[in-house]
């Protein structure tokens, strides 16, 4: 038996890849450091609104607020009761609150009745990684500081479970479909779209709410500051973005407005997580996604980057995309300059930024790179003809600047 220390490389697929059925994005709910709703994020991308960086907006004690790092992106003036009412919210953590608020925004925009049978059969697929880091940390601490471990506050325990947010979204909204939480760091939300695509393709669901969520807390803020993974001064952020997703052909058949089409969603892994390895695997992942979506690289007009602010990975991601596009430079959408490093919510905010700039018929990439070697890519077409929702005509989108 022989062993080798050579870094494995991605093996190219032989022959044409099978096409995938497009998915329709028919609704959204966005809660970000720019404010509540997609319009707030669009204004921030245009430069007409500043993202919130005030630690006093977080529900922390005075000592915690004073001790937070300087670079933050916080959802401003966030009160869950404003979105779902006060009843039953006492023991919910911020992660769950952000998810419930995003879902409430999506439902409000869709005008869906509580007794709509298609709504009750809807499922939830969410990128969350660790759930509420603050809840888990504080609950664990209580087991040490109290006289007896069993004197912890049992009502707070559900918040420590990774899938608490998706469960609460289903409970509060009467959703009886698939309920899944995907852990994948900065690529978690993009992996959620891949999971959702598979579920819809195989007939396990007809409509899913898909996205990512992350709360900001002293634990996460100081964790990022101590890790050295972010470039100097790059902020940490929070928020949630959810999207209603279903088969595109079915959506058009019943007249549902389509905001954009998800043409392909692919994930991959670079063994050992080396930067050269990540760059090559991401380029192959983008190429595979374009082929499965039936898109020529020359048709791509924009890319929403996920590694912005990550030491050593931002440049590798940009080079990978350019390599997959044959050396071409395209419009670069840098939403993380607004939202900060929002970890599990990164991919969802990247997609929201694409929808905030809905150039009719434009093909956009949404890419993600994780420090552990995971990579992911979505191919999205905005403003797609009959059945397309409002606000997608010429000149309606904000400028995003930059090239990649």
Which segment of 206-215, 225-234, 346-355, 387-396 scores lowest on mean pLDDT?
387-396
| Phi, psi dihedrals of residue 59, rounded to the nearest 5° | -80, 65
- The rounded Cα 91 to chain-centroid distance in angstroms is 25
Structure tokens at 328: 């071409």
**For the ranges 111-125, 139-153, 219-233, which has the lowest average pLDDT?**
139-153
- What's the pLDDT tens digit per position in 288-343? 999 999 999 999 999 999 999 999 899 999 999 999 999 999 999 999 999 999 99
Alpha carbon 9 to its chain's center: 27
Pairing of strands 300-304, 363-369: parallel
Contact between residue 65 and residue 216 where contact means Cβ atoms under 8 Å apart? no
d(CA 12, CA 285): 10
Of 44, 201, 55, 209, whose CA–CA distance to 122 is shortest? 209
CATH number of 262-382: 3.50.50.60, 3.40.47.10, 3.40.50.1000, 1.10.3720.10?
A: 3.40.47.10
60 CB-contact burial (10 Å; exposed 0-12 / middle 13-18 / buried 19+): middle
Strand partners, 380: 262, 364
Report, as an integer, the average pLDDT of 223-235. Answer: 92
Helix (H, G, I), strand (E, B) or coil at 309: coil
CATH topology of domain 23-253: Peroxisomal Thiolase; Chain A, domain 1 (3.40.47)
**How confident is the model at residue 8, as a pLDDT?**
39
Q: Give the mean pLDDT of 161-175.
A: 91
Using the 8-state DSSP alphabet, how is residue 16 labeled?
P
Q: What is the pLDDT of residue 187?
A: 94
Q: Which residue has the higher pLDDT, 399 or 43?
A: 43
Find the mean pLDDT for residues 18-37.
Answer: 95
Tell me what the mean pLDDT of segment 366-388 comes to. Answer: 82
| Dihedral angle over CA of 24, 25, 26, 30, nearest 10 | 170
Q: Quick one: pLDDT at residue 218? A: 87
DSSP per position, 219-240 = HHHHHHHHHT-BPTTPPB--EE
Mean pLDDT (whole number) for 193-200: 96
CA 185 to chain centre: 10
Q: Given this model, what pLDDT does residue 131 score?
A: 72
What mean pLDDT is predicted for residues 251-255?
91
Which sign does the torsion angle of CA 127, 132, 133, 137 carry? Answer: negative
pLDDT in tens, 101-140: 999 999 988 766 556 677 889 999 999 987 777 766 776 7
Q: Where in the chain is the domain with CATH 3.40.47.10?
A: 23-253, 262-382
Whole-number mean pLDDT of the chain? Answer: 85
Mean pLDDT, residues 230-253 taken together: 95
* Average pLDDT rounded to a whole number, residues 265-284: 82
Q: What value does the mean pLDDT take over residues 84-113?
A: 88
Q: Please tell me the distance from the alpha carbon of residue 307 to that of residue 241, in angstroms, as a whole number.
A: 18
User: In the numeric block, which tokens belong to residue 313?
Assistant: 């990975």
* pLDDT of 44 over the 50 cut: yes
């Amino acid at each position: 038996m022989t062993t080798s220390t050579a870094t494995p490389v991605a093996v190219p697929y032989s022959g044409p890849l099978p096409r995938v059925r497009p998915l329709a994005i028919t609704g959204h709910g966005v809660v970000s450091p720019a404010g509540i709703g997609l319009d707030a994020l669009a204004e921030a991308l245009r430069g007409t609104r500043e993202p919130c960086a005030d630690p006093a907006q977080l529900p922390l004690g005075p000592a915690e607020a004073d001790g937070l790092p300087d670079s933050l992106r916080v959802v401003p003036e966030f009160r869950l009761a404003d979105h779902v009412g006060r009843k039953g919210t006492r023991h919910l953590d911020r992660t769950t609150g952000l998810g419930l608020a995003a879902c409430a925004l999506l439902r409000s925009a869709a005008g869906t009745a509580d007794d709509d049978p298609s709504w009750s059969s809807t499922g939830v697929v969410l990128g969350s990684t660790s759930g509420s880091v603050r809840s888990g940390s504080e609950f664990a601490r209580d087991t040490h500081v109290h006289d007896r471990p069993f004197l912890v506050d049992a009502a707070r325990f559900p918040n420590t479970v990774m899938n608490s947010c998706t469960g609460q979204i289903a409970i509060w909204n009467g959703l009886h479909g698939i309920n899944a939480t995907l852990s994948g760091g900065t690529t978690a939300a993009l992996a959620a779209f891949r999971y959702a695509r598979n579920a819809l393709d195989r007939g396990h669901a007809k409509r899913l709410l898909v996205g990512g969520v992350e709360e900001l807390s002293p634990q996460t803020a100081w964790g990022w500051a101590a890790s050295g993974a972010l470039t100097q001064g790059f902020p940490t952020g929070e928020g949630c973005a959810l999207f209603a997703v279903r088969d595109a052909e079915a959506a058009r058949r019943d007249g549902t407005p389509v905001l954009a089409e998800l043409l392909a969603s692919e994930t991959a892994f670079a063994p050992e997580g080396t930067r050269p390895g990540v760059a090559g695997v991401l380029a192959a992942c983008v190429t595979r996604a374009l082929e499965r979506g039936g898109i020529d690289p020359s048709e791509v007009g924009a890319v929403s980057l996920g590694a912005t602010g990550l030491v050593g990975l931002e440049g590798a991601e940009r080079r990978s995309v350019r390599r997959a596009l044959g050396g071409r430079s395209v419009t670069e959408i840098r939403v993380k300059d607004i939202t900060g490093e929002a970890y599990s919510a990164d991919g969802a905010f990247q997609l929201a930024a694409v929808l905030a700039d809905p150039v009719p018929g434009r093909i956009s990439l949404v890419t993600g790179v994780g420090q552990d070697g995971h990579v992911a890519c979505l191919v999205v077409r905005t403003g797609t003809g009959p059945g397309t929702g409002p606000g997608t005509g010429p000149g309606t989108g904000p400028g995003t600047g930059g090239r990649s």
